[in-house]
Amino acid sequence: MSDNLIEPKDCALVLADQQAGLAFGVGSIDRQMLLNNVIALARTAAVFGIPIVVSTSATKVYSGPLMRAIQAAIPEVVAIDRRNMNMWEDDAARGAIVATGRRKLIFSGLLTEACVTFPVLSALAAGYEVHVVGDACGGLTPVSHDLALRRMEVAGAKPTSWIQVLPELQRDWTRHATYDGARAIVEAHGGGYGIGLAYARDMIKPA
């Protein structure tokens, strides 16, 4: 696949096991920051009209449903529940991804070491271009998270962050159709950058 910048028309977002029961075990990133980043990524996909495939596992046994705050950001998306760790090996989950018709996949999930790594490696083997949003994934430890990201990168996955995905899709702030939505996401979730955008809007007046 090419190394060109991603375009909304080419991409699908895949959220794997963004569930509270798994988030409890995350030690690679502050859990509130992780949730912030996943919500920002999900909202970004919605603003740019990117198909979203959500899969969960062991919802009744341990992990619980898709985290409520993420579901609230994408209320129309219904999670596909499964038993196995590799969602690519689940016919319904894989079928939903294939049905989008998109060949560039943007992955986020828990835990990085398993339920992210396994489907990413499988999707790469199936010929997809895969971008892994490292700060919207959580691992058990910083070391194991980093090793998982490195393994995926060596296999051909492209590491990225949610704040890189958004401007890469927007590309030009004169694209008015998505400007307001993209800016609102940055203001709500972008930390100091978002604070700066809000300040510029509210305080700096044109001459």
pLDDT, mean over the chain: 95
Closest by alpha carbon to 80, among 19, 145, 152, 148?
Answer: 19
Number of structural domains, the chain?
A: 1
Tens-level pLDDT at each residue, the chain (207 residues): 445 899 999 999 999 999 999 999 999 999 999 999 999 999 999 999 999 999 999 999 899 999 999 999 999 999 999 999 999 999 999 999 999 999 999 999 999 999 999 999 999 999 999 999 999 999 999 999 999 999 999 999 999 999 999 999 999 989 999 999 999 999 999 999 898 888 887 887 655
pLDDT computed for residue 2 by the predictor:
47
Confirm whether 178 is domain-assigned.
Answer: no
**What's 151's domain CATH number?**
3.40.50.850
CA 139: distance to chain centroid?
A: 15
Confirm whether 24 is domain-assigned.
Answer: yes
Confirm whether 191 is domain-assigned.
Answer: no
Confirm whether 117 is domain-assigned.
Answer: yes
Confirm whether 202 is domain-assigned.
Answer: no
Confirm whether 179 is domain-assigned.
Answer: no
SS3 label, residue 135: helix
Q: 17 and 57 in contact (C-beta within 8 Å)?
A: yes
pLDDT computed for residue 131 by the predictor:
98
Catalytic positions, please?
Answer: 115
Name the CA radius of gyration of the chain, rounded.
Answer: 17
Confirm whether 119 is domain-assigned.
Answer: yes
pLDDT computed for residue 1 by the predictor:
42
Alpha-carbon distance of 107 to 130, in angstroms, equals 7
Tokens of 10: 């080419």
**Domain coverage including residue 47:** 8-171
